[in-house]
Amino acid sequence: MNNTVLVCDDAVFMRTMIGDILTQAGLEVVGEADSGAQAVEKYKSLKPDLVTMDIIMPEMGGIEAVREITKFDPQARVLMCSAMGQQALVAEAIQAGAKDFVVKPFQPSRVLEAVQRVLG
């Protein structure tokens, strides 16, 4: 069975791109969320194997969402997607329970390595 993924980003562009990279690697994108609040809600209903999480999102930021998701499922595997210049935020996200991170702009190979590590 393919691993399932929930892709969280407020930009359709980014969701499409991440979705494409992961789908080509054989993962199954089972859901998308465009805000932190939606990410938490969808995690609860979809229980995906992996979540990719943007940091800056409206309504509830990615870090807060990681915290909520980890509270609900301590085993949750969340991969943070950060932009350059967000080291402090990445650190906070990892404290909040994220397993690893990738830096935008994405290179498919790097994203996949990170995914392997997280699912490992």
Residues forming contacts to another protein in the complex (CB under 8 A) are 10-14, 16-17, 20, 35, 37, 55-61, 63, 83-92, 94-95, 100-106, 108, 110, 113-114, 117
Q: Which is nearer to another protein, 5 or 118 (CB)?
A: 118
Shortest reach from residue 2's CB to another protein, in Å: 21
Residue 75 CB, nearest distance to another protein (Å)? 18
Nearer to another protein, 1 or 74 (CB): 74
Query: Under 8 Å CB-to-CB from 28, ≥6 apart: which residues?
Result: 2, 3, 4, 5
Alpha carbon 25 to chain centroid, angstroms: 16
Alpha-carbon gap, residue 5 to 15, rounded angstroms: 11
Residue 48 or 62: the one with the smaller Cβ distance to another protein is 62
CA distance 62 to 60: 7
Partners of 82 in the β-ladder: 103
